[in-house]
Structure 1
Amino acid sequence: MTARRSAVAFFLLILALAGPLWLVSDRLGVIGSLRIPTSDLALAFTPMIAGLALVVWREGWGRAALLLRSAVDVTTIRGGRWIAAACLLPPLIYLTSWGLMRLSGADHPIPTPDLPRLALLFALFLVLAAGEEIGWMGYAFDPLQQRWGALGASIVLAIPWWLGHLPSMSAIGASRSDMAWWLLGAFGLRILMTWIYNNSAASLCAMLIFHALLNLSRIATFPVVGAHYVGAYQAVAYVVVAALALAVVWITRGRLGEAR
């Protein structure tokens, strides 16, 4: 069925849905100490809405229901090590980043996670991850991979993913340097996600878990108010991500688990 799916139509529909929200983002403010723009709560669901709308239009309600079901079906993840990869890579990235910051002399305290708060945030981040990944990976990725290959599809998908975050980054005061570092992170993260996706039998559920834990790990590791948006912390994390992505590309010779 992916042959009938159009990534171009998907990206254009997202733009039409997200445009009005970007325009009012500054007026809506941010969510407490997390400094998450309020508009992001709606923007996070535009990929899912776009993907499901196109599936319903071209493939019917039954296919849309299957797409939704695949996002929450843990049994679709094939292989214990890929479940481990989806769960462990995000905290590894940010713990490594924290360690590198400490080694560089940054005066950052040892994290003392608030477990009840993190549990609630994880539930929220899972819902938000579903809003994004049902569209990005559930709808757009497979036709992109069929045309451009695993590595090419990762790079193509990273660009609108990066662009989609820029208005909210601007709303919280991110610099151009921060946005440039995020581009490096977007490329690296999409490569890692493609690698896990292809090796876990194209599990959309694995993508939700990875995405949610990535956001949670950032906040758990840098819990100081607003610290997880400070450029230095994010830049180090994205360098770690890029290093891991380059290692995966080298080990897999750029195939990222894509079927031959």
Structure 2
Amino acid sequence: MRGDGLRVGGLRARIADRPVLWFWLIAVAIELVVIPVFLLSGAQEGVDAALTATGTDFNTDLVTAFRLVLNDHRAMAGVVLSLIQVAAPDIAVLMVGLLAGRHHLRQVARRWRFWSPATGWRRGLRIWLQMVAVFCAMNLATAGLNAMTARDEGFVWNVRPLLWPLLIGLVIAMFLDGGAVFEENGWRGFALPLLQTRYGPLLGSIVLGLMWTAWHLPVKFDLVGYGPGALSIVAVLTAKFVALTVLMTWFFNRIGGATILAVAMHGLSNDSVRLGGFVFGDSLSAYLISEINLLVPLAIGAVAVTLASRGRLGLPSTVTPTPSATVRRTPGRRHASTLRGKQVDRSDV
């Protein structure tokens, strides 16, 4: 019994020493368990059959998922497993918090807001409007690029121009996207503040973008069918996730660290409204071109905010990276420093 207690204590100490690393490892482990179950249980075939039978287009929002299950019960297992997979980051945060320190969970909970008290509702609303405008503009830019470059069966842009349906669709995209709702407590609510504290906003965002990419790769198992050409798609996907992370960090920091804003950005980037249109074709070139068209506006935006903020990405100048040598500590204790009366994590990655 004593040996078991020592082992558990040692595990807690290791997680407390590297909370972001362990968060990522747990999130990847959950995904690697769920994906084989999804493929081997027939859940994927059930979802495909339900989509075909109901004439539903695949989409990432929870409204579509609910309607699909309601109209065809064969989709139930696949939808549940898919939600568990995308919820892996949030489940990982919960596990890290329970094992390494409840203060992580309290800080994640405090960030679940539209804007910080210091930002205020006037500036908060302005930042929200700017964010929606920027992300919609990037999606429309992608649509233009797709229209010019689409191959194979071509490109379709069928967004309903009526105001109210479009606005309702945007609200669903921002607040009811499956990946956004179930991931962002992990990526932005938990990992980003810790990474910024250690590495600074720009390098911390790049690290988070690489972690986000690597976590996504297992669900891209179909890329192996493209042979060596899959490496080019992985490279573009990596650049896309890093650029998106940099841009999201800029908005996240400017609004004082608000996870709900991160959820909205994530949802708009998934574009369930299809402002970017839909590219048909399964060839390597069609896949690669469509991903490049997503990357280009994101890369322009990421470079612009990086240059405009001189790499600070909206993070107050009073917050500076903490070298790892200064944050070694006794495992299991709560560690924070105070900047202008607010607690800032000093945990290692």
Q: What corresponds to 1:67 in structure 2?
A: 108
Q: What corresponds to 1:169 in structure 2?
A: 220
Give the letter for the 1:199 counterpart.
R
Higher RCO (C-alpha 8 Å, min separation 6): 1
If you compute each CA radius of gyration, which structure gives the higher value, 1 or 2?
2
Shift of residue 240, structure 1, vs aligned partner: 1.5
Could you tell which deviates more after superposition, 198-207 or 6-15? Answer: 6-15
Deviations 1:63-93 (A, max 9, x none): 636634643x325483233212332222211
1:148 counterpart = 2:199: yes
8 Å contact from structure 2 (residues 155, 279) kept in 1: no
1:14 counterpart = 2:14: no
Distance 2:251 2:174 in 1: 21
8 Å contact from structure 1 (residues 113, 220) kept in 2: no
8 Å contact from structure 1 (residues 195, 257) kept in 2: yes
Greater fraction helix: 1
C-alpha spacing 1:9/1:193, structure 2 compared with 1 (3 Å): same
TM-score where L is the length of structure 1: 0.82
1:238 counterpart = 2:295: yes
Name which of 312, 322, 338 aligns with 1:255. 312
TM-score where L is the length of structure 2: 0.63
C-alpha spacing 1:223/1:121, structure 2 compared with 1 (3 Å): farther
Percent identity (aligned): 24
Q: What corresponds to 2:338 in structure 1?
A: none
8 Å contact from structure 1 (residues 34, 226) kept in 2: no
Distance 2:193 2:219 in 1: 28
Shift of residue 180, structure 1, vs aligned partner: 1.9
Q: CA RMSD in A?
A: 3.3
Q: Return 5+ residue gaps in structure 1 as ranges.
A: none
Q: Return 5+ residue gaps in structure 2 as ranges.
A: 1-15, 52-56, 61-77, 318-349
Superposed counterparts of 1:1-260, under 5 Å: 6-27=19-40, 28-29=43-44, 32=51, 33-34=57-58, 39-60=81-102, 64=105, 67-68=108-109, 70-71=111-112, 73-76=113-116, 78=119, 79=123, 80-104=125-149, 108-113=155-160, 115=165, 118=169, 122=173, 125-171=176-222, 175-216=230-271, 219-223=274-278, 230-260=287-317
8 Å contact from structure 1 (residues 70, 204) kept in 2: yes
